Amino acid sequence: MPISRRQFGATVAAGITTAGTIFADDSRPQTLRVIAYNIFNLTGWPHQRRLAQQAVAKGQMAKRLAMELSLHEPDIISFSESPGEELTKEVAALLGMNHVRFPSGGSWPGTLLSKFEIIESQNAPVQSERPKELFTRHWGSATVKLPSGDPLVVHSAHLYVMAAGPIAERVTESRPLFEGAFRLNINDKESFALSDHLPQLAVFEWK
């Protein structure tokens, strides 16, 4: 059955949903840090600039990306427009995270990285094969096991961070990351950013 744009939005706009208690009962605040990032094939932007081309040629891009992301201490990362799987696996290894890839209907696969164990995953989680009309470049879902032992369902799609259910009431911070190598220095004609997009950070807290 074809899925309309409206149906798709109702299904996957919930980037993060919950099943059960999120964390074990603890008097200290605990956080879940999630980053969504369109990494534009990890070729740097503008990719025509000499230093961007050198970074790609020298095999530096995965390390550069991992170092920049690590400063924000993410628990879960969703990539859009991913490069070859060997690069996203390298990023995952550098960050000490688990990895799952979601092929797209074209050339724009998605990737989910998680500090927590990924206990199951599914590409285009619909009842039949991925519909040609599906309104996204990629869409996959994964269930991760939180420190409490409870499951957290995460959808990775060509969207920003979104949340539904009780977890949506726990957002304490949501903003684009303008810092460091995520952003182009317009005063330096030799500079390049990691992507032509900015990552979006969302932080959830429980007390």
pLDDT in tens, the chain (207 residues): 333 333 333 333 335 554 444 444 455 568 999 999 999 999 999 999 999 999 999 999 999 999 999 999 999 999 999 999 999 999 999 999 999 999 887 778 999 999 999 999 988 666 556 566 555 568 889 999 998 899 999 988 876 677 878 888 899 999 999 999 999 999 999 999 999 999 999 999 865
Q: Which CATH class is domain 5-206?
A: alpha beta
User: What are the Cα distances from residue 27, in Å, to 7, 30, 128, 206?
Assistant: 40, 9, 44, 9
Distance CA 197, CA 194 (A): 8
Domain ranges of the chain: 5-206
- Which of 6, 19, 31, 24 lies closest to 164, judged by CA? 19
